[in-house]
Amino acid sequence: MYSKRIYAAWFGIHFFLLTAVCFAGVFWLIAQGSTILPSAFDEYARKAEFVATWCLGKEAGGSNPLRRGIATYLHAAGIQAGYSFFAPNVPNQHRLTFELFYDDGRVEQQSPHVRSKAAALRLDSLLDKLADERYEAVREVLVKMLAFSVWRQHQDVKKLRATFASVNPPDINEFEQGKRETFQPMFTFDFSLRDEQKQ
């Protein structure tokens, strides 16, 4: 009986946290205005998201032991993120292209690449995160790292220009009419061996 109570308590806490994580994710989507719900819901969704994130201790200070304890548990159990994959809509794909400028005036184009298809899927996931405003703080660092990975294979390059673009696919009717994907540049970075600057 005693052990059943412990199991039941764990069950309650575990699924309470999972509920908070899941609904924080759904309310965030609504608050962003990316759903079919009218914009009148945005404000309520923001408040509801605040309640859900408060339950997860995310409103406490970064060094708060309860917040850290909950975050550690959520990560250990793999339930730190909600389950709104490809929802509410399938996001645009993103592409990162590097222009390599050589000393002799040659210009080549390259993309960051990996060997296996499984890793290519992960690279794609990284590129999608780069477009997300929540990753803006680390965007430049990440592009610099990716540029460095390309530069290591082309060490005689003088300058590297990274262009990050959103790929807009045609809808099914446009595709039938012969239209193909279009690229919308989002940001560009110039890197040289000594310094780098954002354009």
Partner 1 sequence: MLKLPGSQINAGVSLVQKWWQSFCGFLFPPETDTWLAALRIGLGLQVVIYALFLRSDWHYLFASSGKGLVGREVGEAITSFDSPLIPTLGWLVTIGRNFNISEEAVLSIAWICLLSAGCLLLLGLFCRPAAFVAWFVHLCAGESGGLLAYGADSFMTTALFYLLLSPLPDHYSFDHWVAKTKPRNPQALGFWRRVIQVQLCFVYFIGGLAKCLGNGWWDGSNLWRALIRPPFTVVPPDVLVRFKYALPVLGISICLLEVSYPVFIWMKKTRLIWLVCILAMHAAIGLLMGLYLFALVMIVMNIAAFGVISNTAPPQRAMETDAQ
* Contacting residues toward partner 1, per CB under 8 A: 4, 7-8, 11, 14-15, 18-19, 22-23, 25-26, 29-30, 34-37, 62, 67-69, 71-72, 75-90, 93, 112, 114-126, 129, 135, 138, 141-142, 145-146, 148-149, 169, 171-172, 175-176
DSSP track, 84-113? -TT-SSPPPEEEEEEEEEETTS-EEEE---
CB of 147 to partner 1, least distance (A): 10
Closer CB to partner 1, residue 9 or residue 107? 9
Helix axes 40-55, 2-31, angle to 10 degrees: 150
CB-based burial label for 188 (10 Å; 0-12, 13-18, 19+): middle
Rounded to the nearest whole angstrom, what is the least distance from the CB of residue 197 to partner 1 in the complex?
Answer: 20
Q: C-beta of 62: minimal distance to partner 1 in Å?
A: 7
Q: Is the peptide bond preceding residue 88 cis, with omega within 30 degrees of 0?
A: yes
Q: Smaller CB distance to partner 1: residue 2 or 105?
A: 2
Query: Considering beta carbons, is residue 132 or 156 the nearer one to partner 1?
Result: 132
Closest separation in Å from C-beta 104 to partner 1: 27
d(C-alpha 194, C-alpha 178), whole Å: 45
Helix (H) or strand (E) holding 126: helix 117-131
